[in-house]
Amino acid sequence: MSLLPKNELHMLVSESAVKVDHVVGWRTPRVVATESAAGGGASAVTTALVLLAKGGRLPRKARLIVADQSAYYRIVTHRGPTSAVLVDATQQFERTLGTADLSVSVTLMPSGTRWLAAALPGAWINACVRAATDQGVKVTSVTTELCVELDRVRPAVGNPASLLVLLRERGSMLVRLHQGSPAAIGWERMGSDSLDNYLARIDAFGQRSAMDLGDTDHPSAPPVVVFSPTAEASPLLTRCRQRGWTVLSLRPTLAAAGAPA
């Protein structure tokens, strides 16, 4: 393991905005500078990096994190090697989305048989990487907002059959745990209807997933844990607490850049 202090960029990109953080440190990395640019993709990456460079020399490496609004997810159950899982997931995404222009990754979940598969628009991602390269920054890894946050939130969840609600700007990512491992993923958009209706739809997802998974420990609604990017009081968080849901503050390493449309 390298003992060199971290000095890199974290680039959170979506199709509507880009946010770049300059991260330094080792055991407790911290953000020392940040810039944002409206508009998605390569042009916004270039704009944000040019702005950030005005404050000093840019790090040579970057981690590209794709916001959930620009990613597609599914849970794949597979006992084969990673290569076979990747082929299976890619074929499923291509059939569902009707395109082969995809960058697909798979991550093994703690269950040992379930994988979180993520598909990103291939040409769009490649353009973002080239834009960073043109500014002298090498993208060393590409991941997604959900993958980053799952690693952070799972240790805070006590019940292995919980429904995780990760609040976004326009809705919520829903992750149903089964025996402590993600087993179902959904998205609930925040519409123009009431907060109670919105939360009822989240509740319904939890109930459906319990039935689909045959969860005998929680055959109806599972315990719900809401992760909010802010600890500030809001009508939404008040309603969550009134339902008996646990609300935890998840201080973002990167500001949210949007959510699925």
Residue 66 burial (10 A CB sphere; 0-12, 13-18, 19+): buried
Domain residues for the domain of 78 are 73-118
The reported pLDDT for the residue numbered 212 is: 79
And the tokens for 240?
């969550």
The DSSP annotation for the chain comes to ---SPEEEEEEEE-SSEEEEEEEEESSS-EEEEEEEEES-SHHHHHHHHHHHHTTSPPPSEEEEEE-GGG-EEEEEE--S-HHHHHHHHHHHHHHHHS-S-EEEEEEE-TTSSEEEEEEEEHHHHHHHHHHHHHTT-EEEEEEEHHHHHHHHHGGG---TTPEEEEE-SSEEEEEEEETTEEEEEEEEE--SS-HHHHHHHHHHHHHHHHHHHT-SSSSSSPPEEEEES--S--HHHHHHHHTT-EEEE---SS-------
103 with 181, same domain: the answer is no
* Placement of tokens 């990673």 in the chain: 82
133 with 41, same domain: the answer is yes
Q: Is residue 256 part of a domain?
A: no
The reported pLDDT for the residue numbered 99 is: 96
Q: Name the pairing type of β-strands 61-66 and 138-144.
A: parallel
The reported pLDDT for the residue numbered 256 is: 35
142 with 200, same domain: the answer is no
132 with 93, same domain: the answer is no
196 with 235, same domain: the answer is yes
* Distance between CA atoms of residues 222 and 215, nearest Å: 9
64 with 86, same domain: the answer is no
54 with 135, same domain: the answer is yes
Q: Is residue 194 part of a domain?
A: yes
Q: Is residue 92 part of a domain?
A: yes
Any idea what the CATH number is for the domain that residue 239 is in? 3.30.420.40
Total domains in the fold of the chain: 3
Q: Is residue 197 part of a domain?
A: yes
* Distance between CA atoms of residues 163 and 140, nearest Å: 32
225 with 179, same domain: the answer is yes
- pLDDT, one tens digit for every residue, the chain (261 residues): 455 568 999 999 988 899 999 999 877 788 899 999 998 889 999 999 999 999 989 999 999 999 888 899 999 998 889 999 999 999 999 999 999 999 999 999 887 889 999 999 999 999 999 999 999 999 999 999 999 888 788 777 878 888 999 988 778 999 998 888 889 999 998 877 789 999 999 989 988 887 777 765 555 557 888 888 766 778 999 999 999 999 988 765 433 333 332
The reported pLDDT for the residue numbered 261 is: 29
* Distance between CA atoms of residues 48 and 11, nearest Å: 9
Cα within 13 Å of Cα(106), Cβ side: 24
Q: Is residue 88 part of a domain?
A: yes
163 with 210, same domain: the answer is yes
Q: Is residue 257 part of a domain?
A: no
Residue 37's CB: how many other CB atoms inside 10 A? 20
* Distance between CA atoms of residues 229 and 236, nearest Å: 13
134 with 241, same domain: the answer is no
Q: Is residue 209 part of a domain?
A: yes
The reported pLDDT for the residue numbered 63 is: 96
| CB-based contact 64:139 (threshold 8 Å) | yes
Q: Is residue 11 part of a domain?
A: yes
21 with 143, same domain: the answer is yes
107 with 29, same domain: the answer is no
